[in-house]
Amino acid sequence: MENTPTSRIRSAAQGFVELEGTGLLLEGPPIIAPLSGMTCVWYRYEVEEYRRSGKNSSWHTIEKGVSDGLFLLQDDTGQCIVDPEGAVVTPAEANVWYGGSKRPTSGPRAGGGGIFLLRRGRYRYTEKRIHPRNSIYAIGLFKTVGGAGSEIDTEADLRELLKEWKKNSDLLLESFDRNRDGQISMEEWQAVREAALKQVMRNHAETLSSPPVHTLSRTMDKRRSFIISAIPQHVLIKRFRNYAVGLIGLFFLAGSMASWLIGLRLRG
């Protein structure tokens, strides 16, 4: 994150990029958080039940989920469609509230608390959200589809189209078996290739003339995380740094304890 410069959507290079902008909903049905009923661009939720068994009692997760709906990231140069699947997401808002049923009957500000309700089998609801118009930082795999700058591979597209046509042999015979002998001859196959090539060229022309669509998604490179955050970049970097320092400290502590135990065993 520290070594990746922030790009503008309109001029971003293809590949691993860092973007900053505002989260927006796409046209169509909105994304609704399932517990609060709030409109958002992303959510994660969990429903827990308080259970008692003898002297032991604890919270048990009975339902959870995370949004995989697409949303827009917009800066002052353009828009990018974000696919949050597989992302490490830091939300803008998190709510925890309680109720007496598996699904809340009111929003996160309602509901009470107390030991009395816990003894009656209380439910705890946790919901994290990123709302429309929240500022968003994101780093992931940036791709552009369509537009004059689109990469075109005619031979590859031709092979894919011919493969699809071969799957529907009845339609292929109906369209290109001129002598009706139930098979495609070499001469007839040439006609098939010519028709497929014309279709590919038409598709390419439409792609090149269409407005470019930018997308941001996870990368297959495990060394490069897909991150979406509704908190500022510098705060997120500080959190990750503190987390890394904590893990390193635990590593050395565990190593020291292991060495001490091994020493005791050898001396014994």
User: Do 116 and 186 belong to one domain?
Assistant: no
User: Do 202 and 225 belong to one domain?
Assistant: no
Which segment, 69-78, 182-191, 215-224, is predicted with the most confidence on average?
Answer: 69-78
User: Do 19 and 95 belong to one domain?
Assistant: yes
User: Do 106 and 157 belong to one domain?
Assistant: no
Name the token pair of 76.
């002052």
Task: Look at residue 266 and tell me if it is in a domain.
Answer: no
Residue 150 or 15, more confident: 15
pLDDT bin (cut points 50, 70, 90) of residue 253 is confident
User: Do 138 and 118 belong to one domain?
Assistant: yes
pLDDT of residue 4: 79
User: Do 131 and 161 belong to one domain?
Assistant: no
User: Do 162 and 77 belong to one domain?
Assistant: no
CB 136 within 8 A of CB 130: yes
Task: Look at residue 242 and tell me if it is in a domain.
Answer: no
**Residue 252 CB-half CA count within 13 A:** 5
pLDDT tops 70 at residue 114 = no
User: Do 86 and 170 belong to one domain?
Assistant: no
User: Once rounded to an integer, what is the mean pLDDT over residues 44-51?
Assistant: 94
Angle (CA) 48 229 128, round 5°: 20
Average pLDDT, the chain: 85
Q: Which domain holds residue 62?
A: 15-144+215-231
pLDDT of residue 112: 42
User: Once rounded to an integer, what is the mean pLDDT over residues 74-98?
Assistant: 94
User: Do 96 and 195 belong to one domain?
Assistant: no
User: Do 128 and 165 belong to one domain?
Assistant: no
pLDDT tens digit string along 232-252?
Answer: 776 776 666 766 667 777 777
- Three-state secondary structure along the chain? CCCCCECCCCCCCCEEEEEEEEEECCCCCCEECCCCCCEECEEEEEEEEEEEECCEEEEEEEEEEECCCCEEEEECCEEEEECCCCCEEECCEEEEEEECCCCCCCCCCCCCCCHHHHHCCCEEEEEEEECCCCEEEEEEEEEEECCCCCCCCHHHHHHHHHHHHHHCHHHHHHHHCCCCCCCCCHHHHHHHHHHHHHHHHHHHHHHHHCCCEEEEECCCCCCCCCEEECCCHHHHHHHHHHHHHHHHHHHHHHHHHHHHHHHHHHHC
pLDDT tops 90 at residue 1 = no
pLDDT tops 70 at residue 121 = no
The model carries a pTM of 0.68
pLDDT tops 60 at residue 113 = no
User: Once rounded to an integer, what is the mean pLDDT over residues 116-125?
Assistant: 62
Q: How many domains does the chain have?
A: 2
User: Do 157 and 202 belong to one domain?
Assistant: yes
Q: Which residue has the tokens 């046509």?
A: 165
User: Once rounded to an integer, what is the mean pLDDT over residues 105-120?
Assistant: 52
Task: Look at residue 219 and tell me if it is in a domain.
Answer: yes
**Ranges 31-45, 47-61, 95-109, 245-259: which has the least confidence:** 245-259
User: Do 219 and 179 belong to one domain?
Assistant: no
